[in-house]
Amino acid sequence: MRTLEVRRHTMRRKPGQHLSQDGIELARLVGDQSGPFDVVVSSDVPRAIETAIAMGYEVNEIIPVLGHLPDAVFEVGVWPDSFDRLAQAVSSGGQVGRFADEQSRIWTGIARRIPDGASALVVTHGLFVEAGAIASLPEADHASWGDAIGYCEGIRLTFDEVFKDCQVLRVPEEYHLVEN
């Protein structure tokens, strides 16, 4: 059995691309409570790379498509919706369904590359986490997964030739910080 943890980046100071101090502190907290990881993968967007580093992990691989949302998917307006509402868009096919399937294929490739008993961390973005999780486990009870993923939140999937189980990883309510 292999484990794949997929997390959304932490807070940044808009309009910039770099993490805010609150974001760094949240990533440190989450990093202290997760891992260790045998492989760490990130999108090429600075806030994702910096989140992995702030969590205490070296980025071993950068996959640009983990950070580039097609305009057609963004325009559908499915984020930040709950897992259940997003699952409806994924199951109806179209751009959102193709996007979700692509995320799941990338995650499957990462999980297949790590040895049995190993774990990998993927740091990506909102909507990427939810869509990939839904496509990875299309028959799951998505309503039980709750609302959209917040900063530094994510999912933990188990993998044995296919994804078997999903645990939603939330940060404590007191760490739900407003992005500057």
Amino acid at 60: N
For residue 12, the cross-strand partners are 19
Q: Is residue 85 part of a domain?
A: yes
Whether residue 180 is contained in a domain is answered as no
Domain assignment present for 12 = yes
Write down the pTM of the prediction.
0.94
- Residues sharing a CB contact under 8 Å with residue 91, sequence separation 6 or more, in sequence order: 97, 138
φ/ψ of 40, rounded to 5, equals -125, 125
Tell me: pLDDT of 178 over 50.
no
Evaluate whether residue 160 is within a structural domain: yes
* Residue 36 covered by a domain: yes
Q: For the chain, how many structural domains are there in total?
A: 1
Cα dihedral 123, 113, 34, 44 in deg (nearest 10):
-20
pLDDT at 148: 93
**Residue that the structure tokens 């967007």 belong to:** 45
List the beta bridge partners of residue 123.
7, 42
Residue 90 lies in a domain: yes
Is residue 94, in this structure, part of any structural domain at all? yes
Rg (CA), the chain: 15
- pLDDT at residue number 175: 64
Domain range spanning residue 161?
A: 2-175
Partners of 117 in beta bridges: none
User: What mean pLDDT value characterizes the chain?
Assistant: 92
Q: What is the pLDDT of residue 6?
A: 98
Task: Check pLDDT > 60 for residue 28.
Answer: yes
**Which tens digits make up the pLDDT trace of 112-157?**
999 999 999 999 999 999 999 999 999 999 999 999 999 999 999 9
Q: Strand, helix or coil at 136? A: helix
Alpha helices (H) in the chain, listed in sequence order: 21-32, 46-55, 71-76, 83-91, 94-113, 128-136
Q: Is residue 22 part of a domain?
A: yes
CATH of the domain at 107: 3.40.50.1240
Cα–Cα distance for residue pair 163/176, rounded to 1 Å: 29
Residues 6+ apart with CB under 8 A from 128: 6, 8, 43, 66, 67, 69, 103
- Cα separation, 137 vs 131, in Å, equals 10
